[in-house]
Amino acid sequence: MTIAGFKTSAVAAGIKSGGVLDLALIYSDRPATAAAVFTKNTFIAAPLVVSKKHLEENGHRVRAILVNSGNANAATGEAGIRAACVCVEALAAQIGYGANEILVSSTGVIGRPLPVDAIKASIPRLVSALSPGNLEMLARGIMTTDTVPKIATAEIGSARIAGVAKGAGMIHPDMATMLSFIITDAEIPHRELQESLEYAVEQSFNSISVDGDTSTNDMVVVLANGASGIRLPADEFRAKLTDLCIELATAIVRDGEGASKFVELIIEGAPSEKAARTIGRGIARSPLVKTAIYGADPNWGRIVGAIGNSGIPLKSDHVDIYIGGVPISDTTREKARQKLSQKEVQIRVVLDSGSASARVWTCDFTEGYIRINADYTT
Amino acid sequence: MTIAGFKTSAVAAGIKSGGVLDLALIYSDRPATAAAVFTKNTFIAAPLVVSKKHLEENGHRVRAILVNSGNANAATGEAGIRAACVCVEALAAQIGYGANEILVSSTGVIGRPLPVDAIKASIPRLVSALSPGNLEMLARGIMTTDTVPKIATAEIGSARIAGVAKGAGMIHPDMATMLSFIITDAEIPHRELQESLEYAVEQSFNSISVDGDTSTNDMVVVLANGASGIRLPADEFRAKLTDLCIELATAIVRDGEGASKFVELIIEGAPSEKAARTIGRGIARSPLVKTAIYGADPNWGRIVGAIGNSGIPLKSDHVDIYIGGVPISDTTREKARQKLSQKEVQIRVVLDSGSASARVWTCDFTEGYIRINADYTT
């Protein structure tokens, strides 16, 4: 799919070994309105510092996003910030825009100096490779430990939206990070775009868990350049953006390293949506629940323990739990076990403390996860 | 060691299979001052509800604690509360004290009815088995998945203190729970005892992590019966109690199922002791850090990520990390790896945001943990 006014590209700049794509570019032929959410981790990597500054300086108008994989430019101090700026300035000179019209993002090993010379040397090639509809190269250029590129596209009336993501940085946060970039040719004012993005991220990227870790480089950006000339109703755009983000976020969970099962948790009967999500995230990050799912054990005691551990006060301690639609009880244990043996598992938790609900996605916890993360050496 | 005025016992009541000890009793020949801390889990098991009520009704004066293993009496509703009361009343009738002079505690499988008849039938045997200095039987009587009994004793001047613990319930919260019972013949007023216990628990049981889960039955109780006639200075008692609790808490971590390494985390240079402990607990529960320790990988990026993930604001992002005394840097990687290959690992994190510190203990995360928790079936 092509998104009017946008081009993308990726090249092998030698940041990663093996000649794989590791430098990517998103380019808009006109200023695009930008909205962004950044990691909540206390330690914020250099590219996020620079991108936040540029967004503020330039009133959330963005022309391009430069992304590298293979090096996170995190825990690199002032030198890291200068390195990010040097790369952005080289790109600005090449495309003839101001440096503060460009965002920058990095993902890869923490604590190593960014290979600035390699990046600068590759920028002319990167710019000349720009073309419309090049989403797969973009998605590949930002991959680290991902095994598949993650792309989602949709039409919103006559406008279009597309996004790429990489992750999960939670699995290898020294191979930081969870990144996602979304572009649309719809016309969206900044405040509306930012509100829609925050809503969508809460429902998607903030509703997944592989192992509960955040990273220094997490970043989601949406650019709306209005090239389609279409001004969408706010709620219609928000709904499409949310669906797109959920598609990308669940693709990250499905690619969770060591994972053998994809798990959808539905929490109902909660006092608020936020409470439902907090409870869901608590279940999603419980190693005991995740190992039970791996072992196909309908262990509701662990789920109840995780609900109680989430810190959300509940009016009633009544809980009904359904696995693949089967209500858990002593007599349904075998049926529930069969449902848990499938590759896709749905667990529904029905509380008796309100009418709010939320969905959260996670994967199981396997020996594979331990092996990958124990054997991996810095 | 004997603690003046206290007797203990344990018998096999048939709650667990295999004729192992599963019903235990702590008895004081005079009213003892009691202090207690209970689980923060939203779902509180029946014995905790009953014990809290008795503590309030009887002004924190306690004569006995009845503990069973093999059944948590959790998620059992009103029937569970009645079951706990019936057992306590049977014991009260046998020893001639009031029911509200007795505390009750359970650990084991969640969601099964407490076998009240088996417990009632065993109470005469349990009472006649009471003897001083019987700590090992008590410690064995409260075990579930523990592989060794956990006992600690100390002298405080001419007074004495002893404690037993079981855990970690975090590993098998359906085999709930972390329990600890401590007895002393020193004379301590209730407020001082409660304050000392809360301080000690924060430094010990709340400073360990096996997998980050709490349970419905967690409970620590200290009884001070004053039988030695010795009134101790508050700070001296608090210090001894803290040491004793740390000894018991670290014994739980050392017995963590699947664990191959015992890890002490020392966090220094934090804005407050609470912040230091929160950061330490964040590192201690990070699956990525725990798998790196298992793989003997000096992966400081993961430690930095976990610090940032703890939500504590820091004045400076400067962090020095030492593994077994070796400062981590590119040149010391091999030395740090050797230190991480040992059975006991110390990781020191020195922040630049204050002068407070805390210690936290954890274990590594192994395939053994996954196997035990995946293969275990309800």
Catalytic residue among A8, A76, A177, A250: A177
For residue A320, pLDDT over 90 is answered with yes
Query: What is the rounded CA–CA span in Å between residue A150 and residue B136?
Result: 57
* A286 neighbourhood in chain B, CB within 8 Å: 211-213
For residue A168, pLDDT over 80 is answered with no
Residue A74 lies in a domain: yes
Residue B130 lies in a domain: yes
> How many Cβ atoms are within 10 Å of B237's Cβ, its own excluded?
25
Sign of the alpha-carbon dihedral angle for B15, B21, B27, B32: negative
**Among this protein's residues, is B153 annotated catalytic?**
no
* Tokens 């995360």 sit on residue: B365
Range of the domain at B222: 6-254
CB A346 within 8 A of CB A336: no
pLDDT tens by residue, chain B, 378 residues: 899 999 999 999 999 999 999 999 999 999 999 999 998 787 889 999 999 999 999 999 999 999 999 999 988 889 999 999 999 999 999 999 999 999 999 998 888 899 999 999 999 999 999 999 889 999 999 998 788 899 999 999 899 999 999 986 444 434 446 889 999 999 999 999 999 999 999 998 888 876 666 667 788 999 999 999 999 899 999 999 999 999 998 998 888 878 899 999 999 999 999 999 999 988 998 888 998 999 998 888 889 888 988 889 888 888 999 999 999 887 898 999 999 999 999 999 999 999 999 999 999 988 888 887 777 655
Q: Indicate the pairing of strand A356-363 with strand A208-209.
A: parallel
Say whether both A37 and A186 belong to one domain: yes
Say whether both A278 and A243 belong to one domain: no
Say whether both B241 and B275 belong to one domain: no
Is 0.90 surpassed by the pTM of this model?
Answer: no
Say whether both B22 and B137 belong to one domain: yes
* Tokens 């995780």 sit on residue: A306
Query: What is the rounded CA–CA span in Å between residue B357 and residue B344?
Result: 21
Of residues B111, B216, B371, nearest to A308 (C-beta): B216
pLDDT digits (tens, 9 = 90+) for A5-62: 999 999 999 999 999 999 999 999 999 999 999 987 878 899 999 999 999 999 999 9
Q: What is the CATH number of the domain that holds A331?
A: 3.10.20.340
Residue B343 lies in a domain: yes
Residue A290 lies in a domain: yes
Say whether both A141 and A34 belong to one domain: yes
Number of domains within chain B: 2
Q: Indicate the pairing of strand B179-184 with strand B159-166.
A: antiparallel
What is the distance between the terminal CA atoms of chain B, rounded to a whole angstrom?
38
Say whether both A352 and A221 belong to one domain: no
B113–chain A Cβ distance below 8 A for any pair: no
CB within 8 Å: B312 and A375: no
> What is the pLDDT, as a whole number, of residue B173?
38
CB A150 within 8 A of CB A162: no
Say whether both B194 and B51 belong to one domain: yes
Which residues of B, range 231-250, sit inside 8 Å of A by Cβ? none
pLDDT digits (tens, 9 = 90+) for B3-37: 999 999 999 999 999 999 999 999 999 999 999 99
Query: What is the rounded CA–CA span in Å between residue A177 and residue A119?
Result: 19
The last residue of one of the domains, among A207, A237, A254, is A254
A177–chain B Cβ distance below 8 A for any pair: no
Query: What is the rounded CA–CA span in Å between residue A2 and residue A132?
Result: 6
Query: What is the rounded CA–CA span in Å between residue A214 and residue A176?
Result: 9
Say whether both B236 and B275 belong to one domain: no
Query: What is the rounded CA–CA span in Å between residue A181 and residue B192?
Result: 57
> What is the pLDDT, as a whole number, of residue A172?
40
Say whether both A329 and A191 belong to one domain: no
Compute the C-alpha angle A167/A105/A62, nearest 5°: 120
> What is the pLDDT, as a whole number, of residue A256?
80
* Spacing of C-alpha A312 from chain mean position: 26
- pLDDT (mean) for A254-276: 92
CB B51 within 8 A of CB B36: yes
Closest C-alpha among B82, B106, B86, B105 to residue B94: B86
Q: What is the CATH number of the domain that holds A232?
A: 3.60.70.12
The last residue of one of the domains, among A220, A254, A288, is A254
Say whether both B250 and B271 belong to one domain: no
ipTM: 0.75
Task: Please give the backbone phi and psi of residue A18, each rounded to the nearest 5 degrees, phi first.
Answer: 90, 10
Residue B52 lies in a domain: yes
CA separation, residue A331 to residues A328, A334, B94 (Å): 8, 8, 39
Say whether both A105 and A239 belong to one domain: yes
B158–chain A Cβ distance below 8 A for any pair: no
The last residue of one of the domains, among A232, A254, A276, is A254
For residue A312, pLDDT over 70 is answered with yes
Residue A1 lies in a domain: no
Instruction: Provide the token pair at B267.
Output: 């966090």
pLDDT digits (tens, 9 = 90+) for B188-211: 999 999 999 999 999 988 888 766
| DSSP assignment string, B299-351 | -HHHHHHHHHHT----S---EEEEETTEEPSGGGHHHHHHHHTSSEEEEEEEE
Amino acid, single-letter form, for residue B52: K
Say whether both B97 and B184 belong to one domain: yes
Residue B26 lies in a domain: yes
* A370 neighbourhood in chain B, CB within 8 Å: 291, 294, 365-367, 369-370
Sequence-distant (≥ 6) Cβ neighbours of residue B245 within 8 angstroms: B163, B180, B182, B200, B201, B203, B204, B205, B220
> What is the pLDDT, as a whole number, of residue A44?
87
Residue B1 lies in a domain: no
